Structure 1
Amino acid sequence: MTTPAAAPHPASPPPGRHRPRRPEWAGRNYTLLTAAAVVTNLGTHGALVASAFAVLESGGDGGDVGLVTAARTLPLVLFLLIGGAVADRLPRHRVMVAANALNCASQGAFALLVLTGDARLWHMMLLSALGGTGQAFFSPAAEGMLMSSVSGEQAGRAFALFRMAMNGAGIGGAALGGAMVAAVGPGWVLAIDAVAFAVAGALRAFLDVGHIPPRAPGGGLWKDLREGWTEVASRPWLWAIVAQFSVVVAVVAAAESVYGPLVARDELGGARPWGLALAAFGVGTLGGAVLMMRWKPQRLLLAGTLCVFPLALPSAALAVPLPAGGLMVVMFVSGVTLEVFGVSWMTALHQEIPEDRLSRVAAYDWFGSTAMVPLATALAGPAEGAFGRHGALWGCATLVVVATALVLLVPDVRNLTRRTKEIAAGPAAPASADAEGSVGRLG
């Protein structure tokens, strides 16, 4: 009896056979992160519609919707920087799983109260605050984990594909969420979101952090925060865009989380048209991601920043207001352009920021993007009373345009270029940095 010595080895399949089912840059961690993001977004985009209508159906008004939104965002702002420091020191996947568990519990309790008819405003604010706390620890860890999971010249394509999968899930989530709110009420949509967090957390538990060098002991929280701030403050392009988005995200959040549902209820016919508008935004982000898988702008931040101007369009469309079809077109366009910015921004961070400081820089980025949201959403109701809903919405659109025009005055925003060699080698320290990185980012 002879052995098949000449048979091809399984590890070396003949050309044309057993081709890998995914690109070589899409490794195990990248695949798990993408699958978990898809699951989470299916639930969360529906919950965005459901939470606002849960407040309205409990007898609340626009001001109450703003308070619940602010209650989620306030702890997000308070704990983000700590979350970034923790994520750069502890295994990032454990931080992500713990945060998902907290979000699952808070959304499950929110759903139960809404389904039983016992939800009061303070209940919803408290549970939203718990969800915001989980997000504060999750976001920096997730961004750092994603950045460290890709390498090579295809990093931009990897980020685009990740965002395409994530936002593609949001298309179905938003449309289904609006339809389910209209059909069975917001409580069941919130319950689905809780289940989605549980499933996503289970997937993230299998992430491998063995490739990330362990942090040296000592230094403490304050030193970690200081190092993260140094990375931000030493790069004009980074802190300028963080400052820009502190305004842009705040006014867009006020327009879309507070005024959008009110305009939909009063002038568009209810939750379903608003859910479809959000779905159109999701389709736009999908299209933008497809574009960015092929287009590699050389001036990353110039291309991205120019694409922030259209984020003023949804506020203007709600101010008119455009009919549902026109609103969907506007949301689609803003989704495309936001994705161009998002992929360009992630590629710049991947290129410029050292791996061991990614989560801390991400935390400062998220902090800048969310710091003014509680104030903006809490003031949305009073602003409507003072200027009228249409006046407040036109104000939101104007602020987006002004903040974006100002950031274009920063030379580094106009001139930072894609450097293929640095991307291929992974995130690099600044050329002028010393050993502590004292010399020298939203999405």
Structure 2
Amino acid sequence: MTAPTPTASDTPHPRSILRERRFIRLWCGTTASGLATWALPFILGLAVLDRTLTAAGLGVVLATRTAGFLVAVPISGVLADRYSRRAVVLWAGLAGALASPVIALGLGRSVLLMSLAAAVVGAGQGACRPAFQALTAEVVDADRRQPANAAITLAVRVTTLAAPTATALLAVVLNTWTLLVGTGLLWLLAALLPPQGLRAPAPTADRAPPLKEFGEGVREARRHPWFLAGLAALAAVIFTGYSATGVALPLISRDRYGTEAVLAGALTAYTVGALIGAVLMARWKPRAQGWAALVGLALYGFAPLSLLLPVHPAVVFAAYALAGLGIELFNVPWFTATQREVEPRLLARVSSLDFLISYGLAPVGLAFLAPAIDAFGWQPVLAACALVCFLAPAAAALVPSSRGFSRQERK
């Protein structure tokens, strides 16, 4: 008699990633850095409201933070591959912890001092990102990286809701100076909580000049056609769809609907959709992961599409919920595939290339969209944004290795 084929319920499940102490430490450190990152703009916004910081000063401080982030990302990718990833996280978190009180010290006194400190905080944020990405691959075994990445991205989405809410509640009993110092404590947790990875630093004799080492990471990225195609699609969506969210949505909410409630509702719907997507991707592993991820990325096109015509606000909310859902359908397999496919000793450099291009194009797109709207009008620009969001992932899907985000396609 033939033995019955085991079903999914008969197969023993591996221990939940949420029961692993080392991963919980990593998750808490990542969450702390996310809370500090998202809280800072809202705290500085409160400083504008109580007139200890001007709107122009706010713009300068946030711009220097972004500049610090972009400068640090490629450098930290090299350092995280050259030395211990845990050490890079430690020093990046300590930089944020030390610089945050300096921002508070400059509040109401010197925008220059605040800007310099904000650049250091941004550099710490930029250094953390590729190091955390590579450290995850060291702390979590390959079979459980997808749920691990889903748990991390879930934390990121929760912080986007929790940080402004917590900031507003704490502002009732604490002043802006104390809140800024509090972000330094969060950076300290981000520095101290993550566990040590398993990878030994590269031998000193193998170290080349930093620029050459970063170039080695770029060459590694070029070995993976699915990565280049997916990164190009992601950059196109961020350049257009994200810009529509950042520039067009607030203006349309005010001018077409006469209330900021549409802006708040759309952003909340986006976050809720992203939370649902992260929960879904913790367990769902589609056969063609790459194609499923690119379909999810294309869903962002519904966001600018919903702003084209004077539709009911519920349609806008639904479109942004779809966009949020889709971005996590893309993010989780994307991070997991990068950790699986890229040579481990080059992982931080390839991840830094990812963050540099995707995050680097965001402010460029924001600066480009407003003049484009003035020159061509709302509808042509939003239609073009939606079209790019739909077509860029479709073009990436034509690359043969994009089906499973792997050079050796899985059947």
What TM-score comes out, normalization by structure 1 length? Answer: 0.74
**CA separation of 1:346 and 1:37: change in aligned 2, threshold 3 A:** same
CA distance in 2, matches of 1:382, 1:54: 29
Which amino acid in 2 is paired with 1:254?
S
Which residue matches 2:73?
80
Matched, 1:337 2:330: no
Among residues 324, 327, 337, which one is paired with 2:316 in the alignment?
A: 327
Aligned match of 1:202 in 189, 197, 218? 189
Q: 1:138 to 1:40 in 2, by over 3 A?
A: closer
> Which of 374, 396, 402 is the aligned partner of 1:413?
402
* Alignment CA distance shift 1:113-1:410 (3 Å): same
Q: 1:291 aligns with which of 265, 280, 287?
A: 280
1:165-216 alpha-carbon deviations (Å, 9 max, x no partner)? 3323333335556x669x97xx84x964662452243254243325212211
Q: Is the contact made by 1:143 and 1:362 (CA closer than 8 Å) also made in structure 2? A: yes
- Cα pair distance change 1:320/1:69, threshold 3 Å: farther
Following superposition, the deviation at residue 322 of structure 1 comes to 5.4
**5+ unaligned residues in a row in structure 2: which ranges?**
1-14
Instruction: Summarize the Cα distance change of 1:40–1:78 in structure 2 as closer, same or farther, 3 Å threshold.
Output: closer
Shift of 1:236: 0.6
Query: Given the superposition, is the C-alpha separation of residues 382 and 176 from structure 1 closer, same or farther in structure 2, using an over 3 Å criterion?
Result: farther
1:378 is displaced (CA, Å) by 2.6
Counterpart residue type for residue 290 of structure 2? L
Q: 2: CA distance between counterparts of 1:192 and 1:130?
A: 18
- In the superposition, relative to structure 1, how do residues 68 and 380 fare at CA in structure 2: closer, same or farther (>3 Å)? farther
How many residues of Structure 1 are paired with residues of Structure 2 in the alignment? 392
Q: 2:369 matched to 1:380?
A: yes
The alpha carbon displacement at 1:264 in A equals 4.5
Pairing partner for 1:159 from 140, 144, 149? 149
For residues 312 and 60 of structure 2, the distance between their equivalents in structure 1, rounded to whole angstroms, comes to 28
1:146 aligns with 2:136: yes
Return closer, same or farther for 1:237/1:48 CA change in 2, 3 Å cut-off.
farther
Cα distance 1:228–1:365, how it changes in 2: closer, same or farther (>3 A)? Answer: same
Post-superposition shift, 1:393?
3.7
- Per-residue CA deviation, residues 233-269 of structure 1 (Å, 9 max, x unaligned), is 1111111112222222223442333444444455566
User: Which residue is 1:171 aligned to?
Assistant: 161
Higher relative contact order (CA 8 A, sep 6+): 1
Match of 1:215 among 180, 183, 202: 202
Q: Percent identity?
A: 27
Structure-2-length-normalised TM-score: 0.79
Contact 2:270 2:322 in 1 (8 A): yes
SS of 2:204's equivalent? coil
* 1:38 alignment counterpart: 31
Deviation track 1:264-296 (CA, whole Å, cap 9, x = no partner) reads 455566666544433332221221122112211
2:288 and 2:404 in contact (8 A); partners too:
yes
Q: Give the drift of 1:323.
A: 5.7
In the alignment, the residues of structure 1 paired with residue 244 and residue 178 of structure 2 have an alpha-carbon distance, to the nearest angstrom, of: 26
* Residue 124 of structure 2, aligned match among 124, 134, 147: 134
CA-CA distance at 1:83 after TM superposition: 1.3
Name the CA distance, whole Å, in 2 between partners of 1:48 and 1:201.
19
Amino acid paired to 1:91: S
The alignment's C-alpha RMSD in Å is 3.9
Q: In structure 2, give the amino acid aligned to 1:147.
A: A
SS of equivalent residue, structure 1 residue 208: coil
> Is 2:352 aligned against 1:363?
yes
